[in-house]
Structure formats: C-alpha cells, structure tokens
Structure 1
Amino acid sequence: MKLIKLTAISAAVLASSAALAAEPVIVVDDTQAATADAVVYEAEPVAVAYEAEPVAYEAEPVAYEAEPAPAAYNNDAGIIRNTTGAIFGGTKTLFNTAINPAAVSAEVGTLGYGANVAWSINDKTELQAGWAGGDVADLFGGDFDADDVNYDVDADFSNPYLGVQLRPAGNWFTMGAGVIVPDNDIDVTANAEGDFFKLDGIQYNAAQTGNLEGSLEHRNKLAPYGTIGFRPNIGNNWGVFGEVGAAYMGKTDATVRSTNPDADVNYTDAQGNTQSIKGSEVANIAERELEDKDWLEWFPIVKVGATYRF
C-alpha cells in the first residue's frame, strides 16, 4: 500500500511540473486510514490576468478666426464701405480716407465764390467742408431799404462751412445740412431822398447831416443751414449741382456814424415846428432803424456749381 502511495505522489509531482499552470493539481491526503482509498483534491489553477485598457487622447481642434482687416479706401467708388472699421481701425485708415476725397466742387452763390471737398460715408451720404466768400453785394442788387432810407451795400464775405449732403432716394435729389462760421463785413451808406434823410417819418437836412455811413454784423458766430437741391452726373467723373435754402445768421448789430456829428441839423416835427439836433443823433436814429430791419437774419442760400468725382 505504501508503494502505491509513493508512486501516486511521484506521479503527481511530475505532472504538476509539466502542467502546473494548465492542469489541476492532485494532492493525496495520507492522513486517511491505510485501508481507505486515497482522497484526491483537485485545485483549480488561479489565473490572474490584467488587461490594460487602451487610452486614447483625442486633441480638440483649435480654430483661430482671423480678424477682418480694416476697411480700405475704395478708389473707384470713393467711399468707405465699413464705417466702423474706418473710425476705429486706426490712424492709417483715417489718414488714407482724409487724403482720398470722393469729390471736389466749385461753386458760386449768395454766400460767395468758393469750393468744397467731399468724403463719402456711404453711397447716400457725403461729408463736406468748404468755403465761400468775396464781394457778393451785387448778387443782392447792391442796395436795400430800411424804412424810408435806401442804403448802398459793399460786402466782403468769408463763410467757411461744414455739412452733410444726403441722397435720400439714391438719385440726383439731395438734402443738405450743416453749420457756417460767418465772418462777413457789410458796409452801408445811406442815400438821401432829395435834400433830406427821412427817418421815422421826419425829414432831416442832408447837407447839415453829412453822409450817414455804417456797418452791419450778424450776431450768430455759428449759423445752422439747410438746403435742398439736385446733383446729376454728366459723365463718368463730372457732374453739376444746384441748391437753395437758408442759414440763420441771427439778429443784426448796426453801427452808423455821421460825417458831421457835431453839426446842428434842422428838421420839422409833427406839429410843424422847426427843431434841430446834432448830426450824431440823426446817425443814432438811422442805426436803430437798421437793427429793427434785421437785414438778412435768415440769409438766403442759392448756389450752382460743378463737381469732379474721383
């Protein structure tokens, strides 16, 4: 029986050496009775397997959105397409816009002889800067009446202006608005009616009074204006225009002086009595009449001209 046990143990050891990992392990318990059959325990092999999960790193795509370039001046159309970009896009863009106007114009009218430069904001809006001036008194006939006195006018105008020109319907019809900075010298000389200056219904001896000469000045240092007009094109680059409107120059300050301020000037009052006052007093009466007249408080604007577009 011992031989059987030894044989079984040896066989089990050899078998376990060959197939320890795959085959069951047989163990003989010799604690059993000699007569009892051997008890075999079958040990299941333990297999520990570690399976590494594949790790994948997926890089998120990064997108860079290019900032739009600042608006560039369009030499063909003469406009800035992207106004916001033009304003905030940097000094270079503004500089290029300033030195590349859309149009230049020559004009003549009640404000004087002059010219303007225009920059297009879009296809319906232009910003204009201009000047008009010179001796334009003849455009008003060269004289005017204040009460019963006729005055000759000699004018030297200077009217720089800044405004906006609109094409609300996108055609030749235009509307304009802006501000004028008037610096106009207006000199006046009173014309006697026969031998008298008639002021407030009273006739003053003209020979004793001497000449009544003075000047007018409008009170507004900034004069708002509005116009309507037309601007048709007559070719690829050339066009003409006409405008009518008005500027509010404000009330008038007048200065009148007599060439014989200390002379006694005779006149007949309403009761038929002969009276006399100084020549300077006659000038003061004429001055008050001129200020009451408020000559050209609403200054008429009439102009025509030609335009060249780039």
Structure 2
Amino acid sequence: MKFIKLTAISAAVLASTAALAADPVIVVDDNAAVAYEVEPVAVAYQAEPASYAYDANAGVVSNTTGAVVGGTKGFFSKVVNPASVSAEVGTLGYGANIGWSLNEKTELQAGWAGGDVADLFGGDFDANDINYDVDSDFSNPYLGVQLRPTGNWFTMGAGIIVPDNDIDVRANPEGSGDDAYYSVNGEEYLLSDVGALEGTIEHRNKLAPYLTVGFRPNITNNFGLFGEVGAAYMGKTTATINRVAGNTNPDAELVADQAEKDLEDKDWLEWFPIVKLGATYRF
C-alpha cells in the first residue's frame, strides 16, 4: 500500500510537468492503471508599446507616436502644398499671393504688391494752395486671413501690411517763365527766388492693419476670380522738402518749411484705400 501511495505522488508530479507537453500521464491507484491526458496551458505575452502618454481622464496608457508623426506630416504637407495662388492688381500695386486653407471657410494668405501706382490716384494732389505731382515706388508685403462667413462667394479679409513705399513729390508753380510763383498762406513767392520745391513724404506706420470685403466666385473647379475693397491704416505722414543748394534767399527756407507743414497736415492717404482685382488658381 505504501508503494502505491508513493507511486501516486510521483505520478502527480510527472503529470504537472508533462502538462506543458500535452503527453498522457498514467496514475496507478489500487492496482488499477488509468491514463489521463492533460490539456496544455496557453501563456500570452503582450509586447510593450514604444512610447506612452498617460490619459488622466481615462486612466489608461496609450501609444501616441503615430498621432504625433501623422500630425507633423500633415502640417508640413499643408505648408509645402498651398491651396491656391493668385495674381492681383490694385491700389497697393501689382502682385501675387499664396493661400493655405485652414478649413472650408478660412484661408491664410501671404502676398506682395508694389510698383508705381501713383497714376491710380490721379498722379497729383493739392496741399493748401500748392499742387504736387507724385511718383511712387511701392512695396507692400502682407499677411492676412480670408474668411467666407456664409460659405459662398462673399468674403471678408483682415491682416497686416508691412509698407515700404517711396513717394516723391514735386510742387507745380503757378504762372510761367519769370512770373512763375508759389502761393503760400495767401502770399506769392517767385520761383526764381525760392527755387524748385521737391521732396518726399513717408507714412509713419511700420505695420498697417487692413480690412476688406469682397467676392470670390469659382469659374471652374480650379480657376476663380476675386475683387476686394477696403482700407489700410498707414498713419500720418512725414514730409521732407529739399532746399536748393546755394540759395540764400530767406524766402526759400520759409516756403520750404511751410510746404512740409502743409504736406503733413494733408496726411495724404492716411487711410489708404484698397481696391483690387485678380484671378486665382486652386490646386
């Protein structure tokens, strides 16, 4: 009997070991041999994630590597591949812009417009009693947002212009020949005594905010037209009138100083009108 019990214990140990191999185990009890087949035990192992971000709300740890890489890739894809390019002409000059769509109603724009556009404003203006001819060389890089608030052709724009506009002015005397003169504060000063009045005016704002409204109809799936009207606040002006070298007539300095004051009081194009037309190609 003792032999049988020892045999049973040994068989149990063997059975535990053999369970992993799924081999039959024989147990002897009361001289009867019985064969049992033990099912193998399955063990599952789970690989550790590569990186972790703890979610305090869910109380779980999740892998975020794919989301970060995918989001970065999507961002650079938008930057490298813009939604549209446009050509424009208007009061800011001749230029172009590139647009990136943030969503179906919002587009970020970066562009430039410039050149000689003085003729668009008539090419001359009056400051007090003196008429001035204008020559210009505009450079207006800008960054803005174009919105479609109602989801159709109607648009609203806002942004910042970084103006670098050269504006040259030249006074036109009245009369002709030896009788040509400038009229300043009701007094007449001969051109021969004063000399030519030429100089520059410059807007003081280094950053000029702007607002526009417009329309942007699509002609085809890729091509469209647009028009905008609005204004940019360029700020007050600083005027400089050059004195004629060698002219010692005291009237020359008096007239030049008054001309500068009149030009600055005029604040020519302080609120700079924006009118533009253009065409757009969408990718």
- 2:77 aligned residue (85, 90, 96): 96
- Pairwise CA distance, 1:95: 2.0
1:40-99: CA deviations, max 9, x gaps?
xxxxxxxxxxxxxxxxx9x9xx999776955xxxxxxxxxxxxxx89x932x33322111
Structure-2 change in CA distance of 1:152 and 1:309 (3 Å): same
Match of 2:149 in 1: 168
- Pairwise CA distance, 1:260: 5.6
- Does the 8 Å contact 2:83/2:100 carry over to 1? yes
Match of 1:177 in 2: 158
- 1:137 aligned residue (101, 118, 121): 118
- Does the 8 Å contact 1:261/1:278 carry over to 2? no
Count of aligned pairs between the two proteins: 226
Distance 1:251 1:263 in 2: 31
Partner SS state of residue 228, structure 2: strand
Q: Does 1:110 align with 2:91?
A: yes
Greater helix content: 2
TM-score scaled to structure 1, two decimals?
0.68
TM-align CA RMSD: 2.6
Match of 1:202 in 2: 187
* Identical pairs, percent: 67
Q: Structure 1 residue runs of 4+, over 6 Å off?
A: 62-66
Match of 1:246 in 2: 231
5+ residue gaps, structure 1, are 1-56, 71-84, 265-276
Distance 2:155 2:90 in 1: 17
- 2:213 aligned residue (228, 246, 270): 228
TM-score scaled to structure 2, two decimals?
0.74
AA at the equivalent of 2:253: S
Distance 1:193 1:114 in 2: 38
Match of 1:28 in 2: none
Match of 2:133 in 1: 152
- Does the 8 Å contact 1:257/1:284 carry over to 2? no
- Does the 8 Å contact 1:209/1:263 carry over to 2? no
1:217-241: CA deviations, max 9, x gaps?
1000000000000000001100000
Structure-2 change in CA distance of 1:122 and 1:69 (3 Å): farther
- Pairwise CA distance, 1:199: 1.5
- Does the 8 Å contact 1:262/1:278 carry over to 2? no
Higher CA-based Rg:
1
Distance 1:127 1:235 in 2: 22
- 1:284 aligned residue (234, 239, 257): 257
**Counterparts of 1:263-282 in structure 2 under 5 Å?**
263-264=248-249, 277-282=250-255
Distance 1:95 1:303 in 2: 30
Q: Does 1:302 align with 2:275?
A: yes
- Does the 8 Å contact 2:193/2:251 carry over to 1? no
Structure-2 change in CA distance of 1:216 and 1:261 (3 Å): farther
